[in-house]
Chain A
């Protein structure tokens, strides 16, 4: 059995990467991801982790080096935040198309301008369509578990897709909390060595990333899309195996006290825990409120999501990113689209909250649930409402 320890979540993530026996790490430090890669560089430098740590001059190079490494068959990790993730953007599309299973932790942070080092989900929402598998952690334990799981999911021969684990910058990355780190033997038994079918090897030359002329590009993209959707089966199997080995369950869509709920809040990431406390408080007051959140964000768990909300009257989707001039936040827009043709669907109200490190308190969640309850009887007129922003 693993050991319960008090650890900063970033340090625990680095330890999880070590437990996963990563062979190459290519990263460029950026707040609030810094502690993760600092600790990894220490582990490599002092010989605790037998890996190549590639220091690079930018995030664009970090992800490029990571792709080169994983293409040779090395288990590869990187991590970034915000502007660093934005700088990777060009290369992010290439990883899934070449089926290169890098694992990356994104310590979610706002995008400039104004310059903000604080937490929201603007960075990751801008990378929605790059084709990476995306997972969300709510606490340090989940961050550790998901990082280890991510290697097994990504590197499975029926998957072979890069995978992002999202953790909230600061509100998760910089918190010390109790975390159970699995033993090395337990991780070794769960996570086999990375053995890709094709890899770059001078003795057996092959080409990765040739031109896709009009006669083949479309078919290549369809194949990528089909393969991506099919990863679902492996993800579910990996979570089942994890639950059996470690006793902690993971589901594509996580629900909390949604039975008989009239209003259900939806928020991704660590603030879902604050939302749980708000739900408990409101339940004590007799309010029928629940919570759901996406564990798996890409590929979108359509089936599980529709099932989770089919009996809910009002769904309050809380976005932590803005789509300027759009029809809602990125999460709200996506959820509405997912439900449009569903036989049974809730009324959807979309809130934008917690941009650039603005706290979302228990009271804010209560306010959103109360406002959402107002829409049990009438349709929302606005595409979205902002919560916690000063008006004067």
Chain B
């Protein structure tokens, strides 16, 4: 079973990202669950969302405490939230940032593990015209982990966003190209 924790700010679409990953996995005939960090979410406040993906039925309703993958939608979050908390040793941290690897590792308290970085805010502004980074970060997520197939994620995007899906798919595709992996 693979466990994912997404960090974002209310309004950036962390919950939607979690849902799209789970929907893709389920449509791929896997088992999955997605759920928000239940609470009265406010726009701009730090929020979390969780995903589990497994080949077997999932019988677990606790929050994700030891994620295999952490996705951070907002560049300012690593300085105020401990995004690597509980991360498994061989886990991934996937960041939205324009900063270089060294600066980011320092920002994460000397983090030495696998790191994926993309300037998702820039891509989202250029492609979507909005600083909403969730679908862009799905591209980085795909490139780093391959947890679900791009085809299923694109289908889920089409189903969710209708006529806005094309732009979101384009943002995701550009992130797949531009994401840098440091392992």
Contacts and interface: CB of A to CB of B under 8 A. Distances in A.
A176 B22 contact: yes
A273 B60 contact: yes
A384 interface: no
B32 A178 contact: yes
Contacts of A55: none
A361 interface: yes
A271 B40 contact: no
Interface residues of A, number: 28
A69 to B, nearest CB: 32
A171 B27 CA distance: 22
A294 interface: no
Given A117-B40, A170-B38, A273 B59 contact: yes
Interface stretch (B3-11, B61-69, B81-89, B170-178): B61-69
Interface residues of B, number: 21
Contacts of B63: 359
Interface in B110-168: none
B5 to A, nearest CB: 14
Contacts of A168: 61
A176 B19 contact: yes
Contact of A274 (B23, B27, B59): B59
B103 to A, nearest CB: 34
Interface string B31-46: 1111110111000000
A172 B33 CA distance: 10
Contacts of B60: 273-274, 277, 362
B38 A174 contact: yes
Given A6-B23, A6-B27, A178-B26, A274 B61 contact: yes
B62 A362 contact: yes
Nearest to B36: A174
A270 B62 CA distance: 10
Q: Which of A4, A6, A8, A362 has the most CB of B within 10 A?
A: A6
B33 A359 contact: no
Contact of B62 (A119, A170, A359): A359
Contacts of A273: 59-61
B33 A177 contact: yes
Contacts of B35: 170-171, 174-176
A24 interface: no
Interface string A307-338: 00000000000000000000000000000000
A276 interface: yes
A276 B59 contact: yes
B62 to A, nearest CB: 5
B61 A176 contact: no
A239 interface: no
B15 to A, nearest CB: 9
A175 B59 contact: no
B107 to A, nearest CB: 28
B22 A6 contact: yes
Contacts of A8: 19
Q: Which of B34, B38, B58, B60 has the most CB of A within 10 A?
A: B38
Nearest to B24: A6
Interface in A44-92: none
Interface in A337-360: 357, 359-360
B49 to A, nearest CB: 10
A194 interface: no
A277 B33 contact: no
Contacts of A174: 35-36, 38
Interface string A260-294: 00000000001101101100000000000000000
A88 B94 CA distance: 47
Contacts of A28: none
Contacts of B19: 8, 176
